Structure 1
Amino acid sequence: MNAFNKALAATAGGLLIAANCFAQGPTSLVVPVENEPAPRLIVGQPLPGPLATGVAYIPYRVENLRILPVGGPHSKNVSPRIGHLHITVDDLPWAWADYGRSDTIILVNLPRGEHKVLIEAVDPEGGLLTSQTVKFNSPGKPAGR
């Protein structure tokens, strides 16, 4: 086969492959929520420097979940999955929701002693997806502050 015929055959083959790819249509990264990987919550220990002053900076990250201020029953089907955090300190009967995506929970004026912080990743309606608890000791707020 001469050089011209080889080039012509290669071009024709390339066009057939390209046409086949376009015929299949574009591929989407958005999949039905039930086919997405499960959300993961990774929580670290409070940073030691600020903790020495009675302030807990608790780093966290989420995987397979976007933290957004969205709610309602239809938002449970949004893909990629969305949700927010619920945070409870020392088993108190109340908690708060975090929609901030700051990747850090900050607690100030912690009294001296052991503390337990429950961090829950929840769906837009508050249904539990996953959770982690972090326990630590605070030296308390320094005198005079």
Structure 2
Amino acid sequence: MAQQSPQANAQTQVTTVASARDIRGASPYVAIENEPAPKLIVDPPLPEGLVQGVYWAQYRVENLHIVPVFGEGGRQVSPRAGHLHIIVDDLPWWWADASNNNTVDIANLPPGQHKVRIELVDPHHTIFPGQVVTQTFIIPDYNSAAAHQRNLHARSTSLE
């Protein structure tokens, strides 16, 4: 029985590894013809945050790089660039998030129902068609739970 050389064995055990382009997208140095439309995907808010009065929702985008590039010149880059606009409870103001940290983070929300609107926009702040996600959620009365714990502690120390 003939034995295979170690080289032959190594060649038969080749595994497929995703390329950098597969994972990170196209190089910023080569223009992309006919880029597919960008897409915004937002997960539901994390319950661990809601019980603390914090909205944490992870997101990702496809066919777009979230970067701090603004203005008319930013529309000319390829691959496409953009950022997020975040609006809370239909307030008349919003903020731009170009951090690409994968999680929208809004702290100090009071107990009750809230609404967060996340828009995927180009460098000139124009919303990409159909790329708006609105989430409605409830922040539980976390303050009363904390107050209850403080009252219990205060009573136990006053009895001593």
**1:36 match: secondary structure:** coil
Given that residues 76 and 82 in structure 1 are in contact (C-alpha distance below 8 angstroms), is that contact kept between their aligned partners in structure 2?
yes
TM superposition score normalised by structure 1 = 0.74
**1:71 match: secondary structure:** coil
Given that residues 84 and 123 in structure 1 are in contact (C-alpha distance below 8 angstroms), is that contact kept between their aligned partners in structure 2?
yes
Displacement of 1:88 after TM fit? 0.1
Q: Which consecutive unaligned segments of at least 5 residues does structure 1 have?
A: 1-27
TM superposition score normalised by structure 2 = 0.68
Displacement of 1:141 after TM fit? 4.1
Given residue 48 of structure 2, which amino acid in structure 1 is its aligned partner? G
Displacement of 1:99 after TM fit? 0.8
Q: Distance in 2 between matches of 1:53 and 1:140?
A: 9
Please name the residue that 1:14 is paired with.
none
Given that residues 63 and 80 in structure 2 are in contact (C-alpha distance below 8 angstroms), is that contact kept between their aligned partners in structure 1?
yes
Please name the residue that 1:72 is paired with.
71
Q: Distance in 1 between matches of 2:48 and 2:86?
A: 22
Please name the residue that 1:110 is paired with.
109
The percentage of counterpart residues that share the same residue type is: 52
**2:44 match: secondary structure:** coil
Write out per-residue CA displacement over residues 10-68 of structure 1, whole angstroms, 9 at most, x where no aligned residue: xxxxxxxxxxxxxxxxxx96314xx1100100111111112111111111111111011
Given that residues 89 and 118 in structure 1 are in contact (C-alpha distance below 8 angstroms), is that contact kept between their aligned partners in structure 2?
yes
Aligned structure 1 segments of 4 or more residues deviating by more than 2 angstroms: 140-145
Calculate the aligned-residue CA RMSD, in Å: 1.8
